[in-house]
Structure 1
Amino acid sequence: MQAVVYHSDDIRAWEQRWFAAQNSSLGLMQQAAWSIAQQFLEVFKDRSINNIAVWCGQGNNAGDGYFIASYLKQAGFHVEIFAAQLGESNDLHCAAQFAIEKKVQIHSDFDIKRTFDCHIDALFGIGLNRELNTNWQQAIQQFNEQSGLKVSIDIPSGLHANTGCALPFAIRADHTFTVLGLKAGLFTGQGKEYVGQVHLVNLIPIDEELKPLAYLTPTSIKLPKRLAFGHKGSYGHVLVVGGHEQMGGAVIMAAEAAFHAGAGKVTVICHQKHHQAILSRAPNIMLRDINALDEENIREILSQVDAVCFGMGLGRDDWAKQIYQQWFNLLNQSTHLETVLDADALWFLAKQPEKLGPHVYATPHPGEAATLLGSSTAKIENDRIAAIYALQHKYAGQWVLKGAGSLILEDNLYICTEGNAGMGTGGMGDVLAGMIASLKAQFHKAIALHEIVTLHAQAGDELAKQGMRGLQAYQMNEAITQVVN
């Protein structure tokens, strides 16, 4: 079963419905704190933790912190609370009073003069949606400078629960115990940098009004076993179109990725200048000269293939514009084809907006998404979920917004939790385009776009086992073969 991700507003509304049914808000706070304390004991039972500092803010997240501190003291730890002035919540005051009764030492500031084995962040919860003032920024930076294990309650303080943006600083946690439901900001944007390992604390039953925002992509993907009597025609024919006179590498990487993902046949249509290099590297790739084709030739070729990835290394000059116009409508209107638009094809799409067919998969990185929406990269990254919905609303089709916690919008929204920072290198997008075309050519509707993105991320993780720095996209091929098998 796929893990469900919720919007913070929907989680708060769910809570309010629970309280409206005569359930106690203080009781839920106590239950959350008790559950987190028990998970804490289980997760860290093999670690040498004796002294714990709990950092408490002014809202209900701080109330969780006071109760957690009390329960951990009862469990035998030395616990001290470092706290801001209490807010107005009655539940928060009850939690603070409970800590006093349990004789937990409470400091009315964040002036920490001793070393602790663990620091627990209960400064802000999921309601934070504004940039923090200077004092809170300093408190978060001070927290991050501490030695020892760092644990956040619900979401690392300073991180936006829905966008994964730091506001502008956030706690860098080793572990996050998130309450009630998973939040998108834990998995996309900058979130992966701050949350560490995520633990879900289930407390109350889901009601009918609570709707998912997104789903986490499954991590176990099984492709059908190949038939003993299959042949190269059984496994799809992929066409790779691009390769400006001055840019031949992208089509090579896309084509090789298509083969390594299992395609039966791959043809590259590019500038003739690159043919010798392609054949010397991969003699199993078939070739056509992109300048030697008219519309009739293109229609004939498209009738013989199953999937096309278009735009890698195409360029943006007048020649590239002519090629784009020659190919785009034929691809968009050929409903039997699985078509991937990447790189320079997306740049031309932004200049000449068209509605895409349901068989078209567009794969922008944030900069390309900004061009497609007439926005800026910073605005895209500030709300990646809003951006991918805006892309589909404007252009239709199916979308991948690449980056940390890649988003995939097909029938539903998915967040990819795999992949690594080593994949931030030139050519990885070309590899993904080739994989999408290959696996769609082989399986069509039997494999989902989000599953292919996950396989690409898993190949990157396999490649990064010896270290992330210095990875090259052309090295992905063996890892791709491994994950698809």
Structure 2
Amino acid sequence: MAVKNQLRSLQHIVVTADQMRQIEERVFAAGMPVPALMEKVAGRITQRIAALFLPQPGLRVGILVGPGHNGGDALVVARELHFQGCQVVIYQPFTKLKELTGHHAQYCSSLGIPTIEQVAALQECDLLVDGLFGFGLERSLSGDIASAVEQINQWHKPIVSIDLPSGLHTDTGQALGTAIQATHTLCLGLWKQGLLQDQALAYVGQAELVDFDLPLADIHAVLGDTPPVQRITSESAIAHLPLPRSLTAHKYTAGHLLLICGSRRYAGAAILSGLGARASGVGMLSIAVPASLQPVLMAQLPEALVVGCPETPSGAILCLPDEVQLDKYSAIACGPGLTMEAKPVVRSVLGSSLPVVLDADGLNMVAEWGTSMLEPRTAPTILTPHLGEFKRLFPHLAETLPCRVTAVREAAAQTGAIVLLKGARVTISDSHTVWINPASTPALARGGSGDVLTGLIGGLLAQPLAQQQTPSPIPHSPSPIPNLVQSAVWWHSQAGILAAQERTELGVDAHTLAHYLIPALKTICKSDRSFL
């Protein structure tokens, strides 16, 4: 039980190569022998490989051995799999090895485990274990090694990479020339930042964390009490949702969200945003749309207060009517389907003292005006760009985009906003901390899925804010808003994953996605009755 609790406590921590190096140096300086740690790590790796692939009589395993301690880990795995009855062969393309790695190579040789120098011989293996390079690789793979990696990738065999696929940059997840396309990655100790970036997904396969008991004191000594980069977990996401509700809750204590969205051309965006907001459980939902769309929205969302707004000749919102007094709402979500004609409306929203979620054309307007217009805002602002919108908002940060963590952190620092960069691994920052959603599905690559997310975020933000009418008695207490944004992103992706499981990836249109939000939450929460 203690091992499981330790592993659970580490699941949210993400490190760079330099941070991992510092943590390991502290462990070694405290007296942990490097050989002992290598044995422990390799033992855990062997156990996991055995659980995944054994028993399979006569399993033929090829071990890819590099010159450093990653190669040493691989050699210990080779030895242990040999003792478990596997037919092991070692591919060792380097003649110069670190001392400890060399000792393990010598012992494997004494056991009669064959060593080869030509990669083609591995084609007869059932499974490959990749221990060529560990974390911290900076140079591109080239020459014979690059050719060997390319050849291995063409075989489409099961490949287990130790720590991260050889050839991946630890921090950015970019392939350095080329990289092993693993089917499984056993990340050691702490999650490496590169494994959670979009460009790494073609190489990582199924990733999981292998704990080898790094002392929490050493982790906190390097990262502080709050790790600067964190991985969203189901436990943390659920913990920040407004579940369960107070027994005395009513619609006015459960928040009031104003959605401003839609145009004659993009009526669907308003509907989808409204469906996302409805699933959030917000107590009151008002939707401001062009007057011509009011009947459509009332039919789709009968519980919402649909406000018909004056519109332009082409059917965009011209202005908000007098009945829409912004100060009576808890939060505003604005942008989906507006078109660029609705600039006066967006200006008034950004001039309000309310938390604002800005998406789609709302972002395009800010890109045109310049992000400096956000600086005077005292209330929280959440920007939700996809990659193209991010480049328009922050053209000077385009060079940082190979590392999404760096890009969103700098964008948040520049604007004072919470920046949510959409993608296969949604990345969020409030300038102090970066959060990465580790799971998603290509099923969400559909028009309108972002509109659902905008409504969901807005609805969650409105709820706790409505219950905090008095200032917090704790000075500098952390805002709940970044946590709720994380929860919304995680919830949205879990709905997509569940819908894809039941309907295939091609069967998850945005309307369907919205209707899977509650089933997905129920599926995750059913093990804890207090959430139901």
Question: Contact between 2:172 and 2:197, CA under 8 Å: does it hold in 1?
Answer: yes
Deviation for aligned residue 1:322: 3.3
Question: Contact between 1:258 and 1:438, CA under 8 Å: does it hold in 2?
Answer: yes
**Aligned 1:5-404 pairs, distance under 5 A:** 5-46=14-55, 50-112=59-121, 114-133=123-142, 135-195=144-204, 196-206=206-216, 207=218, 208-211=220-223, 212-220=227-235, 221=238, 223-227=242-246, 230-291=249-310, 301-316=325-340, 319-330=341-352, 334=353, 337-351=354-368, 352-353=370-371, 354-355=374-375, 356-357=377-378, 359-375=380-396, 379=399, 381-404=401-424
| Alpha-carbon separation, structure 2, partners of 1:185 and 1:129 | 13
Q: Which secondary structure does the structure 2 equivalent of 1:243 belong to?
A: coil
Cα–Cα, structure 1 residues 327 and 88, in superposed 2: closer, same or farther, change >3 Å? same
Question: Contact between 2:142 and 2:177, CA under 8 Å: does it hold in 1?
Answer: no
* Range with greater deviation from structure 2 (68-77 or 388-397): 68-77
Cα–Cα, structure 1 residues 90 and 113, in superposed 2: closer, same or farther, change >3 Å? closer
Q: CA RMSD in A?
A: 2.6
Deviation for aligned residue 1:295: 8.3
Deviations 1:77-134 (A, max 9, x none): 1100112123352223222212212221000121226522211111221112343325
Question: Contact between 2:288 and 2:306, CA under 8 Å: does it hold in 1?
Answer: yes
| Alpha-carbon separation, structure 1, partners of 2:284 and 2:361 | 24
Cα–Cα, structure 1 residues 328 and 199, in superposed 2: closer, same or farther, change >3 Å? closer
* Range with greater deviation from structure 2 (140-149 or 98-107): 140-149
Match of 2:459 in 1: 438
Q: Which secondary structure does the structure 2 equivalent of 1:266 belong to?
A: strand
Question: Contact between 2:15 and 2:193, CA under 8 Å: does it hold in 1?
Answer: yes
Match of 2:486 among 446, 450, 454: 450
Match of 2:427 in 1: 407
Deviations 1:318-343 (A, max 9, x none): x233333233222xxx1xx3321111
Q: Which secondary structure does the structure 1 equivalent of 2:286 belong to?
A: strand
Question: Contact between 1:7 and 1:213, CA under 8 Å: does it hold in 2?
Answer: no
Matched letter for residue 276 of structure 1 = P
In the alignment, is residue 463 of structure 1 matched against residue 499 of structure 2?
yes
Question: Contact between 2:363 and 2:393, CA under 8 Å: does it hold in 1?
Answer: yes
Cα–Cα, structure 1 residues 125 and 305, in superposed 2: closer, same or farther, change >3 Å? same
Deviations 1:216-270 (A, max 9, x none): 2121415423455544333222111132342222121111211122123222222
| Alpha-carbon separation, structure 2, partners of 1:131 and 1:408 | 29
**Aligned 1:467-478 pairs, distance under 5 A:** 467-478=504-515
Question: Contact between 2:310 and 2:321, CA under 8 Å: does it hold in 1?
Answer: no
Gaps in structure 2 of 5+ consecutive residues: 1-8, 312-316, 466-479, 523-532
| Alpha-carbon separation, structure 1, partners of 2:166 and 2:110 | 27
Match of 1:480 in 2: 517
* Range with greater deviation from structure 2 (250-259 or 43-52): 43-52
Question: Contact between 2:274 and 2:301, CA under 8 Å: does it hold in 1?
Answer: no
Cα–Cα, structure 1 residues 274 and 168, in superposed 2: closer, same or farther, change >3 Å? farther
Deviation for aligned residue 1:362: 1.5
Deviations 1:438-471 (A, max 9, x none): 1111233386321221111111112111211242
Cα–Cα, structure 1 residues 114 and 260, in superposed 2: closer, same or farther, change >3 Å? closer
Matched letter for residue 422 of structure 2 = K
TM-score of the aligned structures, taking structure 2 as reference length:
0.82
Cα–Cα, structure 1 residues 274 and 169, in superposed 2: closer, same or farther, change >3 Å? farther
* Range with greater deviation from structure 2 (112-121 or 390-399): 112-121
Question: Contact between 1:132 and 1:167, CA under 8 Å: does it hold in 2?
Answer: yes
| Alpha-carbon separation, structure 1, partners of 2:243 and 2:83 | 53
Question: Contact between 1:176 and 1:197, CA under 8 Å: does it hold in 2?
Answer: yes
* Range with greater deviation from structure 2 (295-304 or 469-478): 295-304
TM-score of the aligned structures, taking structure 1 as reference length:
0.90
Cα–Cα, structure 1 residues 150 and 391, in superposed 2: closer, same or farther, change >3 Å? same
Cα–Cα, structure 1 residues 295 and 422, in superposed 2: closer, same or farther, change >3 Å? closer
Give the number of equivalent residue pairs.
477
| Alpha-carbon separation, structure 1, partners of 2:267 and 2:57 | 55
Cα–Cα, structure 1 residues 87 and 282, in superposed 2: closer, same or farther, change >3 Å? same
Matched letter for residue 214 of structure 1 = V
Matched letter for residue 425 of structure 1 = R
* Range with greater deviation from structure 2 (350-359 or 158-167): 350-359
